Structure 1
């Protein structure tokens, strides 16, 4: 694409487009480094000279706010410049090289509890500062949080208050007003959808974002209580601690008065390990969804009996003969890693190894995956500046991310399989295991043929850590296959794991 904007910015490619304009990736030809930047083109929805003058004033004011926000922290993109050209408005912002939270879930699977906590601990002080500037972001979601490659920090993007200014019109009384509602359905609460966002509207969106990271479920996929409007999500994340579940529950409370009043309150709740629930909250989740069962001793992860009956399947019959045919046919590749039952709620898993340790998300981006476009491409969202409370910027203690245990790493893999995220599960195998021609004669296609074509579900009955140190681990797993042809096949696999220090994760290097 050959386009030079403002005689300075050479457009490389279009990143996205929407109702308010387009977003480009460009190079600054007047900088020695030819640094890359994001250029957001914005156009008013009405071609009216009087409206245009008003939009111009609001655009300049909101650009100044963006400059202020980006100058405070490196977790908000820096505003380099803004200009007007042929009746359209342009913002020039820092290009954040990284992956959105949506992209990371798609590439690597669900986040662990410790990883979600880490995201929150690093992002909440930024959000507290934003609110202290009388700004409500109004479009917090996985697409608008980028985990930067160079330092792993979450960056909050799409402060598009200027986009709201593009929707300026005159009402019937001749007064200027906004004709649009900013936000993403599902991630914005009811008061925001009605055009009355408050600070806790952002906290609500952050809570829904955490649920997506833990469960892979978009808000539209979750049920709500018909009496209270509260979101029911615990059944999809049974291993989440009661403390974090309570924090999320309060953040996503239906009524603003029942939520945390500030980002600082969430930080304090996470640090203290307790949540004070306002007496006005009427709804209580069922006890079964509140926490996993007590830990089972002797370094074992086990399925809690009686919590969720297995699906009905025809009698197994001739299991030994069938299992032998799997091995002869080269399908033992499916036994490299096994997953929880597909297409049904997962059974609760409990763990006694390193009970204080939680896994971290996988940080690699495999070559054969094209991640979704960086969400600085968005052109449809903007914050509001309607609130007036100005809390102080909190001081935050950021604990180091806990190292995942080998058993938890295997559990996370099972969760990926349970969610049907076969590519993410495949990426948890070491390159040498992926290239093993005996197990995967056709590489990923063989792997997908097994899991997607022949196995209906797998019940994992036990995970046992045989040995573990800082570099290697051995884990045993027992399970039951439920095949698509109706047969049931028991199995057991011993996994050899290697610690991948670069990506802070365990990878499966061998199986027996």
Structure 2
């Protein structure tokens, strides 16, 4: 192709074309190396002298922005020059040697999850920088992301603002406006299609791009939920981990308020999801008494994970005595769990040692500030209200068959009154200290250790942790800066259960400080000699 643009750029071949013009690969004949470059030719949609002047002014502004962006990161092509010729506008940019994501999928097939995750992690800092300049790309898709050959880094090309300037026109009030919508159907969200893009519109497009890389399906080939408008894509990528799927789901949420508000937050979620999770320490759960649940007065709460509300603790109003359970393990997996007795103990509880201040688990955050003491205090149970003597003890029996011992006979429990001869009671930490240690772990950002201090039932509660460990670290790692434990009081305790009330102060990453009073239910994990959190309210 013999074409010399601006008496300088020798066109080698046409790379593409569309309604706004064409894109060429060219050589710069005025550079000693004949450096190759990409030239975008842009045509105004209206041939009007007044409009042409507006287009030129806007084009120059957008070209200056491109120069700034390309000069600050090597993942956006550098702007070499721009010029006008015969009523048309031209942008000269760095030629990135490599292949688009579309070409890579067509040539090599689907990408692995790790490859997709790496592309996202490399692109999100670029988007964060672009958005910091108050710019929305508006046309992120596989065709506009090139994997650079020399280092395999993704490079973001073809910003929409320059093209949009070609659609400049004057409205009925005499003000300049754009008559075109930039974006690609399927890859742009609804607000962008309506001409109102926001920063999370780019995150939506990036999420749809990730789905294409994982499934090979274009957006039009994937169904949407007719009630919510959400994209139903997971059935086409069954091997994708829940952590990555959750990040993509949030990025492609129909409404902008349900997406990640910033590229930084999406990046942090990806990085947290990539953390290798150690298996939870096995927990021997004591049998639960079959007691009717008590109605709980609704409270304003922030749950253990942001997606759900805490569940009420099962506790009888008629009996406020001390409950106990017993676990008999014969060294066999699945050995029968024997009997849980509801025992009303007439004896005074043992004195509880004082504990010291530390920090917190996300649980209930009340909607009113609390008066908190400057130091941590521990109180004995109120024996007049919580340990009233009862005349009747009703045993509650729960027997589960075991393959190894089908006819196992329940063995009565020994008295649960602590004695000096009981080894389990000698080195047992107090429930208050367990709560303080838990929050100290959270404040040290040791989230896996903190997660392992929750009972399995509490971990697997889908209302509290809809995405398991990822929901947990999304809260603690993404939203909470630290928690101060201002006061810890023991409410009641037995050999196997305890209830502790803590006054907490959450320091959020937004800068907000939120006071809270949280009541923790604890279970004694005899196998690991520790208390674990079983519920909060």
Structure 1 equivalent of residue 104 of structure 2: 104
Task: For structure 2, list consecutive stretches of 5 or more residues without a partner in the other structure.
Answer: 276-301, 309-537
Deviations 1:154-191 (Å, cap 9, x if unpaired)? 00000141110100111122211100000000000000
Note the C-alpha offset of 1:17.
1.4
Q: Any conservation in 2 of the 1:17–1:23 contact (CA below 8 Å)?
A: yes
Say whether the 8 Å CA contact 1:250–1:277 is kept in structure 2. Answer: no
Change (3 A) 1:7 1:200: same
Asked whether the 8 Å contact 2:125–2:263 carries over to 1, the reply is yes
Q: Name the structure 1 match of 2:92.
A: 92
In 2: Cα distance, 1:80 partner to 1:196 partner = 30
Compute the displacement of 1:109 (Å). Answer: 0.7
Q: Deviations over 1:264-284 (max 9, x none)?
A: 0011111222999999999xx
SS in 2 for 1:83: strand
Q: CA deviation at 1:142?
A: 0.5
Asked if the contact 1:2/1:10 (under 8 Å) is kept, the reply is yes
- The secondary structure found in structure 1 opposite 2:93 is strand
Matched, 1:119 2:119: yes
Aligned residue number for residue 12 of structure 1: 12
Residues 122 and 154, structure 1, Cα contact 8 Å, conserved in 2: yes
Aligned to 1:173: 173
2:424 paired residue number: none
The within-5 A match list for 1:43-62 is 43-62=43-62
Gaps of 5+ in 1: 283-512
Q: For residue 313 of structure 2, what is the aligned residue in structure 1?
A: none
Q: Is the 8 A contact 2:160 2:182 kept in 1?
A: no
Q: Write the distance in 2 (CA, Å) between the matches of 1:98 and 1:30.
A: 25
CA distance in 1, matches of 2:217, 2:185: 14
Larger Rg: 2
Conserved? CA contact 2:139–2:182, under 8 Å: yes
SS in 2 for 1:127: helix
Q: Is the 8 A contact 1:81 1:93 kept in 2?
A: yes
Contact 1:12 1:26 in 2 (8 A): yes
1:130-172 C-alpha deviation (Å, 9 max, x unpaired): 0000000010001100001111000000014111010011112
Residues 37 and 92, structure 1, Cα contact 8 Å, conserved in 2: yes
1:39-438 matches, cutoff 5 A: 39-273=39-273
Distance 1:279 1:251, change over 3 A: farther
Matches of 1:277 and 1:22 in 2, distance apart?
54
Q: For the Cα contact (< 8 Å) 1:224–1:231, is it kept in 2? A: yes
Would the alpha carbon gap of residues 155 and 85 (structure 1) be closer, same or farther in structure 2, given more than 3 Å must change?
same
**What is the rounded CA distance, in whole Å, between the counterparts of 1:184 and 1:4 in structure 2?**
31
Normalising by structure 1, we get a TM-score of 0.54
Residues 201 and 212 of structure 1: CA distance in aligned 2, closer, same or farther (over 3 Å):
same
Q: Distance in 2 between matches of 1:144 and 1:41?
A: 17
The answer as to whether partners of 1:258 and 1:280 remain within 8 angstroms in 2 is no
In the alignment of these two chains, the number of paired residues is 282
What secondary structure is seen at the aligned counterpart in 1 of 2:45?
coil
Q: Deviations over 1:392-435 (max 9, x none)?
A: xxxxxxxxxxxxxxxxxxxxxxxxxxxxxxxxxxxxxxxxxxxx
- CA separation of 1:210/1:154 partners in 2, compared to 1, >3 Å: closer, same or farther? same
Q: Structure 1 residue 30: deviation in Å?
A: 0.4
Instruction: Tell me the distance in 2 between the aligned counterparts of 1:17 and 1:152.
Output: 26
Q: Take 1:280 and 1:252, find their aligned partners in 2: how far apart are those partners? A: 19
Q: 1:9 to 1:186 in 2, by over 3 A?
A: same
Q: Which residue of 2 aligns with 1:32?
A: 32
Distance 2:60 2:304 in 1: 41
| Cα distance, 1:20 vs structure 2 | 1.0
- State the TM-score, normalized to the length of structure 2: 0.51
More relative contact order in 1 or in 2 (CA 8 Å, sep 6+)?
Answer: 1
Q: Secondary structure at the match of 1:247?
A: helix
C-alpha contact (below 8 Å) 1:110/1:216 kept by paired residues:
yes
Give CA-to-partner distance per residue, 1:288-315, whole Å, 9 cap, x none: xxxxxxxxxxxxxxxxxxxxxxxxxxxx
Aligned-pair CA distance for 1:87: 1.1
Cα distance in 2 for partners of 1:250, 1:281 equals 13
1:83, CA displacement in angstroms?
0.5
Q: Aligned partners of 2:17 and 2:170: how far apart in 1?
A: 26
Cα distance in structure 1, aligned partners of 2:162 and 2:307 = 36
In structure 2, distance between residues paired with 1:234 and 1:16: 33
What is the CA–CA distance in structure 2 between the aligned matches of 1:253 and 1:278, rounded to whole Å?
A: 23
Distance 2:39 2:304 in 1: 44
- Partner in structure 2 of residue 301 of structure 1: none
Cα deviation code 1:369-389 (max 9, x no counterpart): xxxxxxxxxxxxxxxxxxxxx
How many angstroms apart in 1 are the aligned matches of 2:203 and 2:58? 26
Q: Distance in 2 between matches of 1:62 and 1:177?
A: 15
Which portions of structure 1, spanning 4 or more consecutive aligned residues, are displaced by more than 6 angstroms?
274-282
**Aligned-partner Cα distance in 1 for 2:307–2:180:** 31
* CA distance in structure 2 between the partners assigned to 1:280 and 1:164 by the alignment: 39
Q: 2:220, 2:238 → 1: CA distance?
A: 20
Structure 2: distance between partners of 1:92 and 1:32? 17
In 1, are the aligned partners of 2:138 and 2:160 still within 8 Å (CA)? Answer: no
State whether residues 258 and 278 of structure 1, in contact with CA within 8 Å, keep that contact through their aligned partners in structure 2.
no
